[in-house]
Amino acid sequence: MSYQISPTSNDKFMFNLKAENNQVILTSQVYEQKQSALAGIESVQVNGPDAKNFQHKVSPAGEPYFVLKAKNGEIIGNSQMYSSEAAAQVGIASVQTNSASKKIADAA
């Protein structure tokens, strides 16, 4: 489990939270500066363990996914699209477990 910070194509930054199997379980918004992406990781570490900070959503194609919100209601990250609500629940549990990771890989 680790966070990976990466530059975007337009010289901004984003991060992914990966599970033990190296699968991406949460993708951040895009940040203007690397330091802001690091602050976003800290927000996931604080807010990720709490189930009430997750909001279930459904894509226009009918696929379930979730967002993780900070206490102020701002979205910190989004999940992948899942095949079922049960699979999305497993994803939330994985974020709750892995969000406390202090490992940060820098691809920037």
Q: Would you kindly state where each structural domain of the chain is located, as residue ranges?
A: 2-103
In this prediction the pTM is 0.92
Predicted local confidence at residue 12, as pLDDT: 96
Strand 2-7 and strand 104-106: pairing? Answer: parallel
Q: For tokens 């095949």, what's the residue?
A: 83
The CATH classification of domain 2-103, taken from the options 2.30.29.80, 1.10.10.10, 3.40.50.1860, 3.80.10.10? 2.30.29.80
Classified as helix, coil or strand, 85 is helix
Average pLDDT on 54-77 reads 96
Return mean pLDDT, the chain: 95
pLDDT tens digits for range 6-26: 999 899 999 999 998 999 999
Q: Which residues contact 107 (CB under 8 A, 6 or more apart)?
A: 4, 5, 6, 7
Q: Residue 106 — very low, low, confident or very high, per pLDDT cuts 50/70/90?
A: confident
Q: How confident is the model over 23-41, as pLDDT tens digits?
A: 999 999 999 999 999 999 9
Instruction: State how far Cα 80 lies from the chain centre.
Output: 9
Burial 69-84 (b: 16+ CB within 10 A, else e): beeeeeebbebeebee
